[in-house]
Structure 1
Amino acid sequence: MIERRGLIGALALTGVAVATGAGAPAASAAQPWPGSADAALQRLLAGNARFAAGRARHRGQDVDAVHGSAQGQHPFVIALGCSDSRVPPEILFDEGVGAVFDQRVAGGIVDDAILGSIEFAVGEFAPPLLLVLGHERCGAVSATVDVVQNGGRAPEHVQSIVEAIAPAVLAVREQPGDLVENAVRENTRTVAEQLVRRSRTVRRAVRANRLDVRAARYDLDTGLVELL
């Protein structure tokens, strides 16, 4: 069962308080490696608040960071999100090279290849956080809503994405409000649950309190991320 928490006052954060966990890689005092899911979330959401306010620091995005990470990586978060060009995690969380292990596919869905990549990262890097990030006005969700409401099929392999998202659309079809928005939220939460249900690697890490799986939504209009 995934614990769903509130925004933890992240938009009011002006700094990041983190703790380095056992086994965490060495890091500079300016950018320590978060040792818990809460610390990782705090760092991400503080970075997002800077990004949305136009005060991004762009740490870890220069050639020194490239050279420093060339021999190895220590990402503190696995991010599963949409391949939409407006939602790059490193930018909207004000992070840099080596911080985020990205998984991006239209609609932020889960297939065997994505799941295998996530399992690799969990086993190889032991990050404390796995974040599923949906976003406002998702094109893949909109396409699925169109198929569910009007029938037919999506072109070629796009249909596989529609089939993955369709259960979320059907689950909220009768709810009040905007169907695409409701489906984005439902799909994001559903994917987070699927990661735990379908993967023994993820499930064991969660049960051992080594990993937390969270769901969040990115607002295209404000640039802000909220936890679901």
Structure 2
Amino acid sequence: MSRTPESVWRDLREGNRRFMRGESAHPNQDRARRLQLAAGQSPKAVVLACSDSRAPVEIIFDQGLGDVFVIRTAGQITDLSVLASLEFAVVSLGVPLICVLGHESCGAVGAAHTALDGGEMPAGFQRVLIEKVTPSLLAARRDGQTSRDQFEARHVAEIVEHIVDRSPEIQARLAEGTAGVVGMRYRLSDGLAEPLVMHGIG
């Protein structure tokens, strides 16, 4: 059976519900699966997620070896290598669903918020995090959003739009209905991967 954006999205949501209930099935984690994957991979989704250790993608969605192609950066920020990795998953691996996964209590969003309110900028390359996250927070403030939860949700939405705007390959697959994009925010408090924005999901 061919995988569609909708069918993969349903599968991830069902896995997240199992995780929330404490009933994870831990699929595709045995020796047979490991040996099968030695010949190649065919993941069902690509997930751009925050690097935060409290938000491990495969566990949150109850997935196994070879199921999810994961890209992780602090604050799920993008650069050319991230966009190239997303396109590799979609074009070369045929992945039908792209997910952006932010989370509750994101340190990168919090640091950008502090810097905007007159706090000190971090030293070294950590400044890049602030520079990448700040536009999302400015957009949120412009629309009257002021809470930490709203900032985190807006940052996810802005990253989703950035990916769609910057990648002609992803745009083409959205237009033909072979790929979808979903933005989510993982709630540390209850384990829900809350959907925020969708493209190409019926």
Using structure 1 for the length normalisation, give the TM-score. 0.82
Give CA deviations for 1:196-228 in whole Å, capped at 9, x if unaligned.
Answer: 111111111111211111111110010111110
**SS of residue paired to 1:172:** helix
Q: Name the residue aligned to 1:37.
A: 5
Q: Quick one: structure 1 residues 176 and 108, their matched pair in 2 at CA, closer, same or farther if it must change by over 3 Å?
A: closer
Q: Over aligned residues, Cα RMSD in angstroms?
A: 1.2
Q: Name the residue aligned to 2:191.
A: 223
Q: Name the residue aligned to 1:173.
A: 141
Asked if 1:154 corresponds to 2:117, the answer is: no
Asked if 1:97 corresponds to 2:65, the answer is: yes
Asked if 1:87 corresponds to 2:55, the answer is: yes
Structure 1 runs of 4+ with >4 Å offset: none
State percent identity of aligned pairs: 35
Aligned positions, number: 195
Gaps of 5+ in 1: 1-19, 22-34
Q: Name the residue aligned to 2:200.
A: none
Give CA deviations for 1:116-148 in whole Å, capped at 9, x if unaligned.
Answer: 111111111111100111100101100110111
Q: Quick one: structure 1 residues 112 and 63, their matched pair in 2 at CA, closer, same or farther if it must change by over 3 Å?
A: same
Please identify which structure carries the higher helix content.
2
Q: How does 1:100-115 map to 2 (within 5 A)?
A: 100-115=68-83
- CA–CA distance in 1 between the matches of 2:102 and 2:61? 14
Q: Quick one: structure 1 residues 177 and 153, their matched pair in 2 at CA, closer, same or farther if it must change by over 3 Å?
A: closer
Instruction: Assess if the C-alpha contact under 8 Å between 2:46 and 2:71 holds in 1.
Output: yes
Asked if 1:143 corresponds to 2:101, the answer is: no
Give CA deviations for 1:8-48 in whole Å, capped at 9, x if unaligned.
Answer: xxxxxxxxxxxx22xxxxxxxxxxxxx11111111001000
Among 38, 41, 51, the residue aligned to 2:19: 51
Give CA deviations for 1:169-219 in whole Å, capped at 9, x if unaligned.
Answer: 1122363552x2111101101111111111111111111211111111110
Instruction: Assess if the C-alpha contact under 8 Å between 2:140 and 2:146 holds in 1.
Output: no
Give CA deviations for 1:132-170 in whole Å, capped at 9, x if unaligned.
Answer: 111001011001101111144222111111111101111
Please identify which structure carries the higher strand content.
2
Gaps of 5+ in 2: 197-202
- CA–CA distance in 2 between the matches of 1:127 and 1:163? 30
